[in-house]
A and B are shown apart, each in its own frame.
Chain A
Amino acid sequence: MSVIELDDVVKRYESGAQTVTALKGVDFHADRGEMVTIIGPSGSGKSTMLNMIGLLDTPTSGSVRLDDHDVTDFTEDELTEERRTNLGFVFQDFHLLPMLSAVENVELPSVWDTSVDRRDRAIDLLKRVGLGDRLDHTPDELSGGQQQRVAIARSLINEPDILLADEPTGNLDQDTGRTILEEVTRLKEEENIAVVAVTHDEQMLDYTDRTVRIVDGVIQS
């Protein structure tokens, strides 16, 4: 059973007189333990599609199913709740908070949940991405690759079902990108999660289980 599904999703942006249809009836699904890579030319709708999968944006028409529940009509607050409990995000430029240490950045998505103490899991995750000796370093004391590893650890803190990554290696050199991809692949298997990544990076195709190509808002099969 798919953990996330898009069904005939259309996304239109209306700005003044102009209407841009970024997604023109997209079907998509991803399963646990699977890494799916979305590729396509610039402006084809990759990020828009990832935002739908990540429950950051809602479709103009069509439906989104998370764990076989229809979340299309969820309110912003309900979507926020789903994002916190079921989704992890990794961004191209890491987006760590500069005033927090590595371990605090990892804990961040969980700190407002005072019912759980995530400190141990945060430390464990940082150790698993090879940063056990960098717990108290702030982002400006870490290299790009290390920052992205902190970001990956952060995305996993709430034990999500899906990890979403928009060009996770886009700001890294070849070798660093490769180690990051190895990290993600290993964690995907350990945590049995679905990974959905958008990329221009050819080497990512070596790690992916399945590739989805989108051109001009339409999936090419």
Chain B
Amino acid sequence: MSVADALWRFPSAMMAWRNLGRNRMRTALAALGIVIGVVAISSLGMAGVALQQQATSNLGSLTNQVSVSAGQDSDYDGVTEEQVEEIRSIITDAEVIPQKTNSTTVSSRGQEAYVSVTGVTDAAALYDVSRGTAPERLQTGALISNSTAQQLGLELGDPVEYDGHLYRIRGFIDSGSGFGPGGGRGELVVPISGLADQDHYDSVTIIADSGDAATETADTLEEHFNTDGRDEEEVLRVSSYASVQENIGSFLNTLQLALLGIGGISLVVASVAILNVMLMSTVERRGEIGVLRAVGIRRGEVLRMILTEATFLGTLGGLVGATCSLAVGAVMFQVVAGDPAGVLQWASARYLLYGFAFAVFASVLSGLYPAWKAANDSPVEALRG
């Protein structure tokens, strides 16, 4: 028994398959509409995921941090020792790291680099080093950013000068992250004693366990320092990156919805194309369907046959579309995140499934009316043509 004979056991599927094969060009064009719709919806969805992951990985551990500096209502030009103690007394479950900052020009072998200078004791908590070490109690040496070290040809153990003191380089700071203190500029980290002529701390970084804890810490500090009775004042400026991430996150969510919306519209357009194709082909086959009804094929069977056609179209278009989207997604992840395999994780791969499911659903939906119309056509009228 041949494949065709076996298929014949499922007459609706068999008839639908043969009908689609009759006008391959039209079938291909209808499926192409679906393919475009699926590619649009899947790849726009995956683009959203790629952007979101990119943004999150750029912010990295910074989302756990709260940064405190002097506010506009402060009597001082920095955060005072007393205020740091006060912060330490109310924030017990997080590290509190006061810093003093300045900027200077570092020179070596005739090369100069403008860097920001940070005086801090607990360097280990704030900095990741690619070579050397970041001590928990920085008292003698210095850390310098990778890029600056390369620019000046500095090695571990080389001396750098700041404010008349020499410091030996103990580690190179990983300058991978784009955000964070210092921005893209080079950075020099020295013991806090190196900036002793500055009375107050320029900022205090508090490192919490999580983004949520950081937000909570920020709220606690706001309430403690910036609420005097019923008045709002800003003694300390408290900022947390968690809220930045939240903002970016909600922006990206909106963006993703908009992208999916655009994809959805193209799928609606594709469904209308299928509706049109199905309607055309049932109108064309009106006489044939009349014969089917005359020889005793039930209305439900005619309905099923045409719905099966629409389902095949949707499945075909959906499969091709999902395959194309996978390729598009891999390219997108390569460009945005530098890793094409990222497309395979569920967060983005599910958009392939959504696209496919939507394609089949939309096709069946747009097959309903033509199928219903063909099934309920009077056989006499249909045969008269």
Contact = CB atoms under 8 A, between A and B. Distances in A.
Bound pair (A, B): yes
Contact of A81 (B9, B21, B296): B296
> 7 closest A-B pairs (Cβ-Cβ)?
A84-B296, A99-B18, A109-B295, A111-B11, A95-B291, A83-B296, A57-B380
Given A98-B22, A99-B18, A99-B19, A77 B9 contact: no
Contacts of B378: 57
Contacts of A168: none
Nearest to B292: A108
A37 B12 CA distance: 36
Interface in A61-105: 76-77, 80-81, 83-85, 87-89, 91, 95, 97-100, 104
A54 interface: yes
A99 B380 contact: no
A83 B5 CA distance: 26
17 contacts: A54-B294, A56-B294, A56-B380, A56-B383, A76-B299, A77-B298, A80-B296, A80-B298, A81-B296, A87-B296, A91-B291, A95-B288, A97-B291, A104-B8, A108-B295, A109-B297, A112-B298
Interface of A: 51, 54, 56-57, 76-77, 80-81, 83-85, 87-89, 91, 95, 97-100, 104, 107-109, 111-112, 114, 119, 154-155, 158
B282 to A, nearest CB: 14
B5 to A, nearest CB: 8
B301 A112 contact: yes
Given A97-B291, A111-B11, A112-B301, 11 more contacts: A51-B380, A57-B378, A76-B299, A77-B299, A80-B296, A80-B297, A81-B296, A84-B296, A91-B383, A112-B297, A112-B298
B71 interface: no
Which of B18, B21, B296 is the most central at the interface, judged by chain A CB atoms within 10 Å of its CB?
A: B296
B379 interface: yes
Contacts of B288: 95, 97
A104 B288 CA distance: 15
B295 A83 contact: yes
A119 B8 CA distance: 11
Contacts of A95: 287-288, 291, 383
Interface residues of B, number: 26
Interface in B19-76: 19, 21-22
Nearest to B378: A57
Contacts of B297: 80, 84, 108-109, 112
Nearest to B14: A111
Contacts of A109: 295-297
A109 B301 CA distance: 11
B21 A85 contact: no
Given A95-B291, A114-B9, A85 B22 contact: no
Given A95-B288, A111-B8, A100 B296 contact: no
B200 interface: no
A107 B292 CA distance: 12
Contacts of A114: 9
B293 interface: yes
A89 B19 contact: no
Contacts of B298: 77, 80-81, 112
A104 B14 CA distance: 11
B207 to A, nearest CB: 71
Contacts of A88: 295
Contacts of B296: 80-81, 83-85, 87, 109, 158
Which of A80, A83, A119 is the most central at the interface, judged by chain B CB atoms within 10 Å of its CB?
A: A80
Contacts of B299: 76-77, 80
A84 B297 CA distance: 7
A129 to B, nearest CB: 17
Nearest to B5: A119
A72 B14 CA distance: 35
B375 to A, nearest CB: 10
Interface in B271-297: 287-288, 291-297
Contacts of A76: 299
A99 B17 CA distance: 10
Contacts of A81: 296, 298
A89 B8 contact: no
B9 A89 contact: no
B26 to A, nearest CB: 14
B269 to A, nearest CB: 29
A89 B301 contact: no
Nearest to A98: B22
Contacts of A98: 22
Contacts of B5: 119
A86 to B, nearest CB: 9
A112 B297 CA distance: 7
Which of A56, A76, A81, A107 is the most central at the interface, judged by chain B CB atoms within 10 Å of its CB?
A: A56
Contact of A112 (B11, B19, B21): B11
A111 B304 CA distance: 14
B295 A89 contact: yes
A155 to B, nearest CB: 8
Contacts of B14: 111
Contact of B22 (A87, A99, A112): A99
Nearest to A93: B287
Contacts of A80: 293, 296-299
Nearest to B300: A77
Contacts of A87: 296
A155 B296 CA distance: 11
